[in-house]
Amino acid sequence: MAGPVTVGVFGAEQKIEKWLLRNIFDNKLRDSKKLNPQKRAEIYKKFVVLKKAGKVFFNVAHISNKIIDKKGISFAIRKGIADCLKKLHHTSNYNGRHCNLRLDGLLKAPKEFKNQKTIIKGDEKNVFIACASIVAKVLRDQLMARLGSKYAHYRFETHKGYGTKLHYSLIQKHGLSPIHRKSFCKKL
């Protein structure tokens, strides 16, 4: 209901896939939303170390609530994917257009990425999708915590912009903030 939509990209050479599964996920992939915040943060810290060592790379794109309201959530997600893939192409030693791209749910990358495959519940089936999901969730949650300081009345650090009872009650009390997705809040 509030804040940006965040899209993540995560990559590594194929040979690291089994290592990630064994050493990061204890051989069991889980949806990032089913991991507690401490576990996600712990995993994210490991990713940062691996990124600094040049073993993996990742990026996120935050697409604002204003774009979501103006163009729709589907457009915002597609823009986020395109922005992440541009960053991948420019910031890694990897030519993103020739990678094997795996996307969660019903997502699609721009057509120039020929080797793409969508996987339903991908974050429970594909290591790289699970990693991208964790990176995106951790970085969005961090952003929402910072926005919680800026918009203290809304307690974004607590509910991260999701439609909780607390969030609804704070909107009823204070109205919408500048970071609320007005298109998601029409019935309030």
- Nearest to 21, CA basis, from 122, 146, 130, 172: 130
Tell me how many degrees the CA angle 150-2-31 measures, rounded to the nearest 5.
115
d(CA 120, CA 103): 8
Residue 19 pLDDT more than 70?
Answer: yes
Strand-pair partners of 119: 104
Report pLDDT for 96.
52
Q: Centre a 10 Å sphere on the Cβ of residue 37 and count the other Cβ atoms it contains.
A: 11
When pLDDT is cut at 50, 70 and 90, the band that residue 114 belongs to is: confident
When pLDDT is cut at 50, 70 and 90, the band that residue 31 belongs to is: confident
d(CA 98, CA 114): 7
When pLDDT is cut at 50, 70 and 90, the band that residue 5 belongs to is: very high
What pTM did the predictor assign?
0.91
Q: Quick: pLDDT tens for 89-103.
A: 655 555 555 578 899
How confident is the prediction for the chain on average, in pLDDT?
91
Question: Are the CB atoms for 80 and 63 separated by under 8 Å?
Answer: yes
Q: Is 149 helix (H, G, I), strand (E, B) or coil?
A: helix
d(CA 165, CA 169): 6
Report pLDDT for 188.
76
- Domains of the chain in start order, with CATH, are 5-147 (3.30.420.10)
Q: Quick: pLDDT tens for 74-89.
A: 999 999 999 998 877 6
Strand-strand pairing, 116-119 and 101-104:
parallel
Report pLDDT for 85.
87
d(CA 128, CA 131): 5
